[in-house]
Amino acid sequence: MKILILPCFLLLINLSKQDPSFDCSSFRNKLDAEGNILFIAGDRSYIVPKTIQEITPYYCDKHLASLENIRQLARNCMKPFPRQIIGLATYGARQEVKSLCKGPVEGKQEFLANTICFRNNTNLNRMHDAMDKLILEFEVIRDNVHNESLKIPHICCSYFKFLEVSIPVLFISLLISLTGLEK
């Protein structure tokens, strides 16, 4: 039975009709804006929840709305195969967000413990700066690297530079949540 779920889901995405009244003219800008909300790093307006009560307005509501907007953009502005990929990715992300937001208090407490290092503006700003630099490097690669066989290596190098900044910040968060110590 489970084997049939994925093909049926993909077929359903392919058969869904595009809304002709939907505005796809600024598709990339809209997708970028929604992606910023989801990935936090790079979204300087993001407020890191400090209490369980803040998780719903600052995290759940924003992320669920963003995932729905991405789904609508994909449904109405993308060709079938990329639409399927986006559909699968947003479905998985939506399930994760829903499980946190509608789940037990323990999950919310774990979320707060795991995001503790982002309450320190220095760490969050380092992540924002690293994401800004990564996006800029991706744009430079897109615009200036014309040899297709060199694009992936350049993208990988840029991504690993981003990881050099983000992994220490995430590692600090992990240590803090495991030890229960705050900076």
69 and 107 share one domain: yes
Residue 49: name the closest of 122, 130, 124 by CA.
124
Segment 90-131, tens digit of pLDDT: 898 899 999 999 999 999 998 888 887 777 777 788 888 888
Listed in sequence order, the residues at least 6 apart from 53 whose beta carbon sits closer than 8 Å to its beta carbon are: none
Question: What is the chain's alpha carbon radius of gyration, rounded to the nearest angstrom?
Answer: 19
Domain boundary among 114, 134, 167: 114
100 and 130 share one domain: no
86 and 160 share one domain: no
Residue 110: count of CB within 10 angstroms of its CB: 14
Using 50, 70 and 90 to split pLDDT, how confident is the model at 36? confident
CB 104 within 8 A of CB 165: no
139 and 160 share one domain: yes
Using 50, 70 and 90 to split pLDDT, how confident is the model at 178? low
123 and 109 share one domain: no
110 and 124 share one domain: no
148 within some domain: yes
Q: Which secondary structure element, helix H or strand E, spans residue 29, and what is its range? A: helix 27-39
Question: Which structural domain range is residue 151 located in?
Answer: 118-183
Q: How many domains does the chain have?
A: 2
Q: Tokens 């995290």 — which residue?
A: 59
Domain boundary among 94, 114, 134: 114
Residue 117: count of CB within 10 angstroms of its CB: 23
137 within some domain: yes
**Is the confidence at residue 177, as pLDDT, over 80?**
no
Rounded-to-integer distance, Cα 11 and Cα 80, Å: 10
Query: What is the rounded (10 degree) CA torsion for 60, 90, 123, 108?
Result: 40
Judged by DSSP in three states, 105 sits in helix
**Is the confidence at residue 15, as pLDDT, over 60?**
no
139 and 71 share one domain: no
CB 162 within 8 A of CB 133: yes
Domain boundary among 114, 134, 160: 114
126 and 94 share one domain: no
18 within some domain: no
**Is the confidence at residue 9, as pLDDT, over 50?**
no
